[in-house]
Amino acid sequence: MATFLSGAEVVDLLREHGALQQGHFLLSSGMHSSHYIQCALLLQYPDLTARVCAALAEPFRSEEVQAVVGPAIGAVVLAYETARQLRARALWAERSEGRMSLRRSFTLSPGERVLVVEDVVTTGGSAKEVAAVAERAGAVVVGVAAIVDRSSGGHGLRWRFEPLVRLDVEAYLPPLCPLCREGVPLVKPGSR
């Protein structure tokens, strides 16, 4: 199994499995876009998930990662398989009363080395929230890995950030959305 996937190969896999979608979408960040990346359509295939997560893990293999944490629900599978690749624990954070937290008796220890994983980064909000959860527990965030960075550099992550592919896909604040002005129906495919 090859651990390296080029950005072009990742895009090809996303296209092949219908994960790159066009329309008018409400992103989990609250922004609007003409493109949505539904990584779950790729991650439903365990063999492809293993390849993608091996590529996510690769830049962090020397970091002695002890736990991999992703935001529910989109990165639960990513956290599990990336952790397996790194021989680490897999956890996920989820929203409780609007705030990201570790639930289900998950804990992180002071000094524990954590990798945050995400399927798609648009504003970096979920990754930042998960990293903050880890840091509040005293863990050390060694970085953030993602399948797709669609932030155009606006993610604001202060940790090492290693996406498999960067896609320049516009996202709009709702009042500035040209698709809204054109009357294109809005679809909410995300997890929030």
- pTM of the entire structure? 0.89
Percentage with pLDDT > 90 across the chain: 73
Would you state the pLDDT for residue 55?
95
Cis peptide before 73 (omega within 30 of 0): yes
Residue pLDDT, tens place only, 69-92 = 999 888 999 999 999 999 999 999
Domains and CATH numbers, the chain: 7-181 (3.40.50.2020)
Q: DSSP letters of 53-115?
A: HHHHHGGGGGG---EEEEETTTTHHHHHHHHHHHT-EEEEEEEETTEEEE-TT----TT-EEE
